[in-house]
Structure 1
Amino acid sequence: MIEQLYEEILLRKKEPKTGSYTNYLFDQGLDKILKKVGEEATEVVIAAKNDQAELVAETSDLIYHMLVLLAEKEIPLKAIEQELKSREGQLSKTEERKPIDRL
């Protein structure tokens, strides 16, 4: 599903459609896309404190806006997939991480 959505976003970038929200974002440029990603990330955090339905909706919004950002920056989904795969099976050294109250 995410791949299909990403392909649709790429298509909108290549072949704009009048009235498309995706094209609105591309037309407004990187700063607008980044603002939306930031807003949606904050809404995910707030939703996580509320209820599951809201969290699902806000996470969906965040994923969509992240895909628009990737398309804007011409980063293929394959690059994200490869990065995640490179991390597979690696142990994270939690003792090297800052405590949550010091981030």
Structure 2
Amino acid sequence: MQTHDVLDELWAVICERAENPSENSYVSSILTHRKGVDKALEKVGEEAVEFILAAKNQVRERTVSEGADLLFHFLVALRASDIDIDEVLSELAGRRR
């Protein structure tokens, strides 16, 4: 599976959970939390710190794992903020020179 396929699939699942919340879904629990978008942002902050520490300590396996966690929670926070990933990707594409 290609990298962009994984991101597309993950984004589709996040959006599906947002539109059809489920009690058993971790994504739904974040998106429907009483704190609103703040819960998703807390998770991004938490995962960012864990990623930074792993990278700083040069623990490759942990850095990869925490990087995946950070990317996942970033995507959930985008959805919680009602921002489509295509907007972010378009912004990145516009910055290429």
Superposition TM-score, scaled by structure 1 size:
0.82
For structure 2, the residue ranges without an aligned partner over 5 or more in a row are 1-5
Cα distance between partner residues in 1 of 2:68 and 2:85? 16
Aligned partners of 1:3 and 1:77 also within 8 Å: no
* 1:18 CA displacement: 1.9
1:46 equivalenced with 2:66 (yes/no): no
Alignment-derived partner of residue 64 in structure 2: 56
1:86 equivalenced with 2:94 (yes/no): yes
**Partner SS state of residue 22, structure 2:** coil
- What count of residue pairs does the alignment treat as equivalent? 89
1:11 equivalenced with 2:19 (yes/no): no
* 1:26 CA displacement: 0.9
1:30 equivalenced with 2:37 (yes/no): yes
For structure 1, the residue ranges without an aligned partner over 5 or more in a row are 90-103
1:2-47 Cα offsets, whole Å, 9 max, x none, are 1110110000011112221111101212111111100101111001
Cα distance between partner residues in 2 of 1:55 and 1:47? 5
* 1:49 CA displacement: 2.1
Amino acid at match of 2:24: G
Superposition TM-score, scaled by structure 2 size:
0.87
Aligned partners of 1:13 and 1:26 also within 8 Å: yes
2:78 to 70, 87, 90: 70
1:64-90 Cα offsets, whole Å, 9 max, x none, are 10100111112111111110011102x
